[in-house]
Amino acid sequence: MPQFNNITNNTIYSPDRTIDMIGGAQNNSIWNNVITATTGPALHVRDIYNSFWNNTISCGLGGGISLESNTDTYPNGTNNTFYNNRINCTSGGAAIKANDSQVNYNLFYNNTIEASVWVNDSGSNYYNTTGMGNIYYFANHTPSWSVFDVVDTNNDTWADAGNDRPFNATTVSGYFTGAGKPQDWFPYTSKTAGTCGTLGTAGQTYTLYVNYSTATSCFNVTAANVVLDCNGYSVQGADANGSYGVYSNQFNTTVRNCHISGFEAGLWLEDARNASVYNNTFDPSYCLKLKDTNDSVFANLTCLNTSNRAIWLTQGSNRNSFTNFSIDVRSSGHGIYVDGGANNSFDCMGNSIIGMNTSSHYGVYSDQIGTTVQNCQISNFETGIYLNGATYGLIQNTSASSTRGYGIYLYTGANYNRIINSNATSSAYSGLSIRNSLNNNVSGAQISGYDNTYGALMFYNSGNNSVISNSTINGNGGTYAVTMRSATNGNNTFYNNTILNANTAIFASAASGNSFYLNNITASVWVNDATGSNYYNVSGSAPTQTAGSTGEGGTVSLSCPAGTTIQSFTSTYGANCASACPVSCGTCTIGSPSCSVTYNNANCGDCHNGCSKNGNLNLTCGLGNRGNIYYFANGTPSWNVYSLVDQTGDGWADTGYNVPLNSSVSEWSGSGADYHPYTTVLDTYPNLTSLTIGPNPAYKTSTLYCTINATDNEQANLTAYWEWYRNGTNQTALAGNMTMLNATATNLTQTVSSSLFNKSDTWMCRAKLWDGTLYSNWTNSSDLQVSNSLPNLQDMSLTNLTQNSLSLCRVNVTDGDGQQDLKWVNFTIVNPNGTLVINNVNGTREGNTTFYDSGTFNLSVDGYWNCTATAVDYSNASVNLTGSFQVIREWQKYYGLTSGQLQLGSGAANYLLNWSATYGQVVYVAEPSVDLNFTYLYPLGVCPNGSLHTSQNDFALADQLLGLSTASSRSIEGLFDANNNSIADTNASFKVFGRTVNNVPVAKIANSSAFSTGIFWQGTAGSTLCYDGAKDLVFAVTINKAASGTYGASDYELMIPQELARYKSPSNAKVNFYGEYRGQND
């Protein structure tokens, strides 16, 4: 049983179990040996209390050290100590193998282990002492501490901190294994934690392996070429005033891979040239503060929760570059603030600068020279980018938006800046405002704002000499898109922009000398210009010239300078000898940017064969005559509505009766004009649409005229030229010209009087038009032959329209050739029964008048009588006129006493009734079938509620009921409402069975009579409806004892139409009389 033996200073090799400690091998010491095995473990231990140190153990596939429990009566492999050994198992196997659950209490420390599996342990063994563990390498010789997060915080080289401490099956999975859950609490590491303080060794790289925290400031760099690599760890402050995470005033300071927060300034560089700062996150009041710091590079930065100036460059910080950074302001702060230093560049590379939308804070502020802002998304600041007197800056591929101020603001002295391919947006004010600033250039921008006073793009005070091009200016539904508010806004140029989505596109209230051309404008008002001193088109004056030449067979290709086109050209080809004859060759297109001509005999012709020949091409280039492109607010092109015509084919109007566009169109207010607005309408010949000679027919007494109508797409006024032809011969004395309105039918000012022609002459007019540029062809009218004048019949009438009276039919007859040309006028009269009363009888002329009559005839029956008059002249031309006239029966008149005998007014000694009552009130007359109810008798023209019924004419409806013509003076309307206004001419009050009825329409047989006949209509109980033309009529007169009437003294007198008796039954010939009487004392 070997015990208390020493094995030292040996080199021992065996394929398997080079040293095998079994059979009671206890309390032995093995040190300073080289122990090697290839297949089995190099050191195999199954006993206890042995010590192993300073050995080099190289293992094969079987592992380095293997501990097992004993299978005999001897103790298991426990309580052994291994320290200061080097165990190399890079070729396979576990360095320490204790995968027997009975193997316990062995101690391993300060061993250097290099293997693919460091520990495989199923028992309860120890891999560190208090404060000391082992040194671990991967099989490829890589130190474990370069991969795993283990840190020495007390500078003893043994890890006491880190995310991967202790080493175990979880933190170093695959390297520590086994059911015993082995772990090393203090593995070796070269990573030291250290403390905040001075970084003062020149050229030193300081690497962090843990998070740092401090109540004040942390790192102060005091030497050149220092690198601070936070290695992903954080540096945390306590928000102390004046504190900083890192401070440097040295050359070539590098700060990388840090998360710095809780300081007033995350990184403060003061006079620290050539600094490199990258892959950092800052979360302080100031993320970066640069003072007198030049030529430094900042990349891959994130600035969070800043409450002051995220990036602040001050007091001479020049030529610094910032790329791939983002800023998130979570309090009242600025994004980038440059108030000291030139030529600093900020490229967000698509990242955002976001604020908290607080007053007087800016995404980017600069008052310095050469500030560049690129590829940034800036939002939620009062102003996105504020250049306060900053000059020679660049804003490119950047979006700056605001909900309470300007997107981009160029303020006093902000000169020579460029804004390229950027967005300037505001939902409250102007997207871009240029105030008291000169010589700025904006190109490819998207400018959007909603400011009903200043518009999306505002120039104010001395905003001069700037160029806005290739941009979109969106008024966002507000009043203005572009405004120039001051008289000092001058010499700005706007070209090739899209201006839209505002009521007024361009508002130049007092500005002058500004130029607008090639802009695409869509608005209700295109221009509102108060001064008229701005320009809305450019001309081709002072163009550039280019020239090129080639020998025979060569090609000359020339291009105009950018933005210009060909205004004119010459192209010649000819012999270069004494008798040279250059000829025209090839052609160029006016308005094109380039031209190419090949010079050879096939293209240009041969000229003096045998001599050398040259082709010469000369272009005159210029802007051409160009204005702006105008659309109505609904998108309709201006040239679809207004006359804008292109004569040269370059797409820009140079004629048309709405050219120039100015205040003559409703979309232009104030002064100014665009003399060359865009159009797709090409100049065309004026079109003579119609030429009509008249009158047709024409007579010897006529005056001949010619009516012309024409259209032209460019001129409001046209010149018309004409000629007159009589029987094929040009009447040159009648030729002439006049000005006429486009698309308006106009009579030629030259007419032909009747003294210049005879009957049967044939006349023709012809005309052509000139629009100031082009003439139309001559157009002929149709031929017109002068005809015999036909007689004219008019004003036909019957002299009487009452039945059983004598009447005449008369007519006014005239002849254009004179009354002496009338041969006769015949009349034919037909009564309502179809009987010829007069048949083709010559009429009689009434003295020297132009009236003729038929002679008298008796109107024997009522109804419609027809009169036909035929006029014949000495050329046997005849004209007929027929009139139809209603003859009505005379109204029946009744008068008499209200006691004794009732006498008929039209008969002698004919009596209807013998009345004996003494006191009469009213006499009523109605058709026999009327169910008379005196309670509901209402005046004609009056509703049951007493209001006048003016919405219709009750009198005309009553005529319809009785079959009377309202055209007759003997109709109800003619007698009671001659004014035809639905209101009775005369009315009176009646007493009807004790009820006073007002507004009763009345009429008299004779004006001198004391009696007036009134008209009522019969209503019904409970009805409030007014007269509808179907209700029965009742005629009435108030009894007036022994009054003076038409036929002498009588008690009553009234009249009724004969049709009253038969309007319900044509065979009826009677009416009923009703008398209303009262007692003597009533």
Which residues face 56 on adjacent strands?
Answer: 34, 86
What class is the 691-787 domain? mainly beta
Name beta bridge partners: 521.
499, 630
92 contact partners, CB below 8 Å, separation of at least 6: 60, 61, 116
DSSP three-state, residue 530:
coil
Instruction: State which CATH number among 1.20.1080.10, 3.60.20.10, 2.60.40.1930, 3.30.470.10 fits the domain covering 791-887.
Output: 2.60.40.1930
**Tell me, what's the pLDDT at 379?**
96
727, burial (CB in 10 Å: exposed 0-12, middle 13-18, buried 19+): middle
> Helix (H, G, I), strand (E, B), or coil: what is residue 958?
helix
Contact between 575 and 549 under an 8 Å Cβ cutoff? The reply is no
What are the C-alpha distances in Å from 57 to residues 12, 17, 20, 33, 609?
A: 10, 11, 13, 8, 105
Residue 1045 vs residues 541, 827, 1039: alpha-carbon distances, Å: 100, 42, 12
CA end-to-end span of the chain, whole Å?
A: 170
Which candidate, 138, 233, 142, 121, places its Cα nearest to that of 184?
121
Strand ranges (E), 99-153: 104-109, 112-121, 124-126, 135-137
Do the beta carbons of residue 1033 and residue 1016 sit within 8 Å? Answer: yes
Predicted pLDDT at 541 = 56
**Range 544-622 has CATH code 2.60.120:** yes
pLDDT at 73: 53
pLDDT at residue number 744: 80
- pLDDT tens digits, one per residue of 872-918: 887 777 889 899 988 877 788 888 887 655 444 444 444 444 444 45
DSSP reduced 3-state for 609: coil
Distances (CA, A) of 819 to 789, 882, 935: 11, 21, 65
* Cβ count within 10 A of residue 656: 25
Provide the residue type at 117 as one letter: V
pLDDT of residue 968: 67
Question: Of 907, 1039, 893, whose CA–CA distance to 970 is shortest?
Answer: 893
**Cis bond leading into 284, ω under 30°?**
no
pLDDT at position 801, please? 83
CA-derived radius of gyration, the chain: 60
Residue in 514, 448, 509 with CA at minimum distance from that of residue 481? 448
Task: In whole angstroms, give the CA distance from residue 356 to residue 216.
Answer: 28
Cβ neighbours for 301, distance < 8 A, ≥ 6 positions apart: 277, 278, 279, 280, 281, 282, 287, 288, 322, 324, 325, 326
List the chain residues with pLDDT less than 50.
Answer: 1, 902-917, 1081-1082
Q: How many CB atoms lie within 10 A of CB 142?
A: 12
CB 816 within 8 A of CB 728: no
Do the beta carbons of residue 378 and residue 350 sit within 8 Å? no
- Let me know the angle formed at the C-alpha of 985 by 923 and 944, rounded to the nearest 5 degrees: 60
Say if residues 816 and 700 touch (Cβ distance below 8 Å). yes
